[in-house]
Amino acid sequence: MNRYLKLVHMEIHRFRYILAALLGLVAVVQWGALVWSARKMEAALDEVEKFGRYTFYVNELSDRKISYAEAIYNAQQLYILSVLTVIGVLCAYLLFVWYRDWLGRSTFIYRLLMLPSARSSIYLAKLTAILVCIMVSLAFQALSLVIGGAIFEVVVPSDRQAYSYFVDIVDATRVLEYLMPMRLVDFALNYGLGIVAVLVIFTGILIERSYRWIGIAYAVGYVLFCGAAIVIPINAMGMYRSDSYLYTAEIVGIEFAIILLIAAVSIWLGFRLIRRKISV
């Protein structure tokens, strides 16, 4: 356990500057977009009050107020761009966290594999580091929305502020709906799929590392097979059709079972490969 925790610390320590830069980018882009949007909407209100002319930003202004959710909605492109940037870098890190050790100048993976501990701890440490980075990014996004609310209250005069519920703030952009779903089932399904995707990619990387050139085809085939095993049953059972034979809860239960099975197989195969196929 002690070596596992040290490996987790090492992985997070190596990624800390990139993660900090990403979170800083999120803060600058989202808070800047919020100020820009609030100023635009306030200027639109001024036009309505002075000239009685409606603008693109304001359609119904009977109460002459601006809400935090509306300000985010009008700047949602920048919010989406910042979030997708973080997701893209984290996806690239899924590959980097393994190939950095193989392709680095000193082939650090050899030193890791020769540690006097179970090789599965290397797999688990890299997985834990990825999950910690994801959870830190999610927590920072929630904190960014809270701080954004304080910024909104400073930028917009109090007599022009309309109250926004947290659910309205999240619903203001499509990407935040997926990141922070309000229902526990949706949260578990979204992040359960994300964790399984990480496991599948990890196992695909180990397949490629174990079998080299032919391993590329094996790895791609494994990833595609796992993806099809999740997507095809949803369509086959008609989850999004009103005439489906099964109830939505039953379909979700079956999907959870499939996801758990794929996760278990990916972990078992990943452990087996790193113990028996990959050598120094």
Give the gyration radius of the chain's Cα atoms.
24
* pLDDT tier, 62 (very low <50, low <70, confident <90, very high otherwise): very low
Q: For tokens 């079956």, name the residue.
A: 254
* pLDDT tier, 105 (very low <50, low <70, confident <90, very high otherwise): low
DSSP notation for 22-58:
HHHHHHHHHHHHHHHHHHHHHHHHHHHHHH----SS-
Q: Can you tell me the distance from the alpha carbon of 92 to that of 85, in angstroms, rounded to the nearest whole number?
A: 11
Mean pLDDT of 230-257: 71
**Whole-number average pLDDT of the chain:** 81
Query: Which of residues 93 and 252 earns the better pLDDT score?
Result: 93
With pLDDT > 70 as the criterion, what percentage of the chain qualifies? Answer: 83
* pLDDT tier, 147 (very low <50, low <70, confident <90, very high otherwise): very high
pLDDT above 80 for 24? yes
Mean pLDDT of 89-115: 75
Mean pLDDT of 208-223: 87
pLDDT above 60 for 205? yes
Q: Can you tell me the distance from the alpha carbon of 272 to that of 119, in angstroms, rounded to the nearest whole number?
A: 10
Residue 268: predicted pLDDT: 92
Q: How many CA atoms lie within 13 A of 200 on its CB side?
A: 24
pLDDT above 70 for 61? no
pLDDT tens-place string over residues 166-190: 888 888 888 888 888 877 877 887 8
pLDDT above 70 for 242? no
* pLDDT tier, 32 (very low <50, low <70, confident <90, very high otherwise): very high
The first and second tokens of residue 220, run together, are 């791609």
pLDDT above 50 for 130? yes
249: left (phi over 0), alpha (psi -120 to 50) or beta: alpha
Residue ranges of domains in the chain: 1-181, 183-280
Q: Can you tell me the distance from the alpha carbon of 49 to that of 63, in angstroms, rounded to the nearest whole number?
A: 11
CA angle 195, 199, 205 (to 5 degrees): 140
The shares of helix, strand and coil residues in the chain, as percent rounded to the nearest 5, are 80, 0, 20
97, 126 in Cβ contact below 8 A? yes
Question: Quick check: helix, strand or coil at residue 153?
Answer: helix
pLDDT above 50 for 256? yes
With pLDDT > 90 as the criterion, what percentage of the chain qualifies? Answer: 20
pLDDT above 90 for 200? yes
pLDDT above 70 for 280? no
